[in-house]
Amino acid sequence: MNMNKDAFAGFHPVVNMMYFTVVVVFSMFFTHPACLGASLVCAVAYSVYLNGRKAVRFTLVFMLPMLMATAMLNPLFNHEGSTILAYLPDGNPLTLESMLYGVAAATMLVTVISWFSCLNAVMTTDKFVYLFGRIAPALSLMLAMALRFVPRFKVQLKVIADAQKCVGRNASDGNLLQKARHGIRMLSIMVTWALENAIETADSMKSRGYGLPGRTAFSIYRFDKRDRTALAFILACATYVAAGAVTGGLYFRYFPTINGVWGTPYAISIFISHLALGAVPVILNFREDLVWKSIALKA
């Protein structure tokens, strides 16, 4: 198998950061179905590439039901739209536009969550600190710590739970009152550990002179030709799509009737560049895999 699991993560942090910023912002602001679809496909494909079977399971078990629930809940509360399909039990109209808008909003939600799961895997703590450590040291350290917060607490909670289980104080032992007492004890241990850990981290960073002027930071990142090409491609695509959105090439409305730009060559060119932008990591990874395989075959 491939040694470097994710080729895109091996690029310079500036390229990674730029890519995720652009892609997440576009996913959040463009409501055109073509853009939503392209973003969804790219985000899910990349998260599956990164996290494998876990991402597939997460998508099917969590994202798909959420998408369907959001799509079905929207018409219950939003009755706007000119195409009345039926009437709800409370007497308000059920409209086609509100249903489709629900689908669009749900797609957007799922897409952004998928992008963030990719971002979590690619933008590691050291990349964050490398990028923002000089500009905003306190903020970047806090951000790096906050991003690690949940996974780290989950691990620590498991450690505490295992230790408590050994002395017969598991949260599932005893009657209701005892269970509650064991649970609260575990919470108390957890909070104590978290506070102590935070102080230790702060002291440790301070004693190393973090954030002081003139302090250099070791980094293994080099901005070479490959990064320059990737960054140029991402910026070119992003500029073209943003310019297209400003000039109305991505015009789409859901209310009161559905209407938007679809088939014009200009619109199609914007959709293609949007798709190309989203697919950058997946394409890079596939190319890398092919190259690796061909080398492995030769050897």
Partner 1 sequence: MKKHKILMAAIAFAVLAGAWIYGGNYPEQGDQPQAADTAAQTAEQKEVQGNAEFIRVAAMQEGAEQEAPEQEGAVLPAPDETAEPPLAELQSADVDDGSFTVSLTVRCDTILGNMNMLNKEKHELVPSDGVILEATTVTAYEGESVFNVLQRTMKQAKIHMAFRNTPVYNSAYIEAINNLYEFDVGELSGWLYCVNEWYPSYGCSNCQLKPGDAIEWNYTCDLGRDLGQFWVNGWQVDEYE
The count of other CB atoms within 10 Å of the CB of residue 170 is 16
Nearer to partner 1, 120 or 170 (CB): 170
Q: If binding is defined by CB under 8 A, does position 75 make contact with partner 1?
A: no
Nearer to partner 1, 80 or 224 (CB): 80
Residue type, 123: M
Q: If binding is defined by CB under 8 A, does position 216 make contact with partner 1?
A: no
Q: If binding is defined by CB under 8 A, does position 168 make contact with partner 1?
A: no
Q: If binding is defined by CB under 8 A, does position 296 make contact with partner 1?
A: no
Q: If binding is defined by CB under 8 A, does position 255 make contact with partner 1?
A: yes
In sequence order, the 6+-apart residues with CB closer than 8 A to the CB of 58 are: 51, 117
What one-character DSSP code corresponds to residue 253? E
Q: If binding is defined by CB under 8 A, does position 87 make contact with partner 1?
A: yes
CB of 29 to partner 1, least distance (A): 18
Q: If binding is defined by CB under 8 A, does position 54 make contact with partner 1?
A: no
CA distance 273 to 30: 14
CA distance 41 to 34: 11
CB of 98 to partner 1, least distance (A): 10
Nearer to partner 1, 70 or 117 (CB): 70
**Residue in 2, 4, 21, 92 binding partner 1, rule: CB under 8 A:** 92
Q: How far is CA 114 from CA 49, 156, 180, 218, in A?
A: 12, 26, 36, 31
Q: Up-side HSE of residue 207: CA atoms within 13 Å toward CB? A: 6
Question: Of the listed pieces 32-40, 76-84, 155-163, 227-235, which binds partner 1 according to CB under 8 A?
Answer: 76-84
Q: How far is CA 31 from CA 24, 34, 111, 115, in A?
A: 13, 8, 12, 16
**Residue in 10, 33, 37, 93 binding partner 1, rule: CB under 8 A:** 93
Q: If binding is defined by CB under 8 A, does position 84 make contact with partner 1?
A: yes
Residue type, 201: T
CB–CB of 139/132 below 8 Å?
yes
Nearer to partner 1, 4 or 257 (CB): 257
**Residue in 81, 244, 249, 278 binding partner 1, rule: CB under 8 A:** 81
